[in-house]
Structure 1
Amino acid sequence: MSRVLELDAIEQVYGSGDAAVHALRGIDLSVESGDYVAIMGPSGSGKSTLMNLLGCLDIASSGRYSLAGHDVRELSENELARVRNQEIGFIFQSFNLVARMSALANVELPLVYGGVRRAERRRRALEALDRVGLAQRADHEPHELSGGQQQRVAIARALVTNPTLVLADEPTGNLDSASTDEILAIFDDLAQSGRTIVIITHEEHVAERAHRVLSIRDGNIASDRLTGIAAA
């Protein structure tokens, strides 16, 4: 099994001197291909900072982050943009769909930025929408979809590039319980198919659907445990 990401002694410090804030304090973490990992922690624990680093949206103050064998610190801005577009599938709490574009066009966006030809990106986008059960809503705009359906479109968009890592930030935070169950079932299916997933959540019942749960406090990993699902 290959290692998708590895963090060695990662620290993130904002400010300097007496005003310095240590958001992360020497994080060591590795995630193998096919892992389904949940990261939990209270507000201010460092979990959002960690997500930004994992998603290559920020660079650590010190330490080494390797994603799919590449040292992130050594990548140029263009290379980082390519990694964010092709290697990482992002899913956000607020869906981040473009309002006046159809579900299909929203899912196609990463492929547009990646220079994929129109016919091929349409085929792949429809395939991704079908994967999340929304192929029949391909022509609908976000305002015509429920919250759960909008999040499924966002998941399809994250999957359309066949990324190395699916990174989800509070993906059920804006959903009711029924929609949450639907979204978690999709994550279960993705995990069973071998996708590598890291999910940031503050909800225990969401975290317990993962195979492994990390708890972060005060910028440190306080615990790292397997769930009953992994043991099974």
Structure 2
Amino acid sequence: MHQVYGAGEGAVFALRGVDLAVGVGEYVAIMGPSGSGKSTLMNVLGCLDVPSAGRYLLDGTDVGTLGENELARVRNRALGFVFQSFNLVPRMTAQQNVELPLVYAGVSRRERRERALDALAGVGLADRADHRPQALSGGQQQRVAIARALVTSPTLILADEPTGNLDSVSTGEILDIFDSLAADGRTIVIITHEEHVAERSHRVLTIADGRIIHDRPLSDRRLAAGARS
């Protein structure tokens, strides 16, 4: 898989022949310096960008063949996103923030509420459902974001520097949640520049100059998502 921005002498080769497979239930960390291509790879995995060449298969579907509406549905239903900056809507309660993907999916109000409360309970925030983000700590806000990522039961959870804005205590709490999710068989890809965060994963990829230069794979898992050069 390749990703090129621009053309001619101004072309930027963000990904150069990446060949990657992530198996069901794998917990994978991607590391690399600034400009290495890890954010570009995350954007492709999250269906926010389409590779210039090669294919990206998500649960057996070639996302390059999908139109914009189909891609939007995939992002909403098959993918769960967790960001460094939480990306919560300030005027909404924790419950309402978690419900958002279900609103876009057309789920009924009653089912939205039940699923959102279950997701919040799963991250230890059942008693904070009615709180708005400003009334929550950074670690609690990130747990709300994780609940929102989980509420659609996605095929793949993508976390971009999820502990980057947290103190050491909150970081440990968030990593414990990811450990629990991985133990339950969730498929997780996390971008991080912190080695102690990457060490909690099952597999670490190091990327530099748009290429994967180190990969500690798990060979006994069947594929959930793949990218081919």
Same fold (TM over 0.5): yes
Point out which structure has higher relative CO (alpha carbons under 8 A, 6+ apart). 2
After TM superposition, the structure 1 = structure 2 runs for residues 147-166 of structure 1, keeping only pairs within 5 Å, are 147-166=138-157
In structure 2, the partner of 1:7 is none
2:35 pairs with 1:44? yes
In structure 1, the partner of 2:50 is 59
In structure 2, the partner of 1:95 is 86
Count of aligned pairs between the two proteins? 218
> Which 4+ residue blocks in structure 1 deviate beyond 3 angstroms?
none
Cα deviation for residue 226 of structure 1 reads: 5.2
In structure 1, the partner of 2:160 is 169
User: 1:41-94: per-residue Cα shift (whole Å, max 9, x none)?
Assistant: 000000000000000001111100000110010011111000000000000000
**TM-score, normalised to structure 1's length?**
0.93
Unaligned 5+ residue runs, structure 2?
219-229
After TM superposition, the structure 1 = structure 2 runs for residues 1-232 of structure 1, keeping only pairs within 5 Å, are 10-225=1-216
Give 2:153's aligned amino acid.
Answer: N
Q: Distance in 1 between matches of 2:202 and 2:217?
A: 6
Q: Distance in 2 between matches of 1:141 and 1:158?
A: 18
Cα deviation for residue 225 of structure 1 reads: 1.2
In structure 1, the partner of 2:227 is none
**TM-score, normalised to structure 2's length?**
0.94
Q: Distance in 1 between matches of 2:130 and 2:13?
A: 46
In structure 2, the partner of 1:3 is none
The structure in which a higher percent of residues are strand is: 1
Give 2:46's aligned amino acid.
Answer: G
Q: Distance in 1 between matches of 2:6 and 2:202?
A: 36
Q: SS of 1:62's equivalent?
A: coil
Identity %: 74
Give 1:201's aligned amino acid.
Answer: T
Q: Distance in 1 between matches of 2:217 and 2:4?
A: 30
Q: SS of 2:9's equivalent?
A: helix
Q: SS of 2:29's equivalent?
A: strand
Unaligned 5+ residue runs, structure 1?
1-9, 228-232
Give 1:114's aligned amino acid.
Answer: A
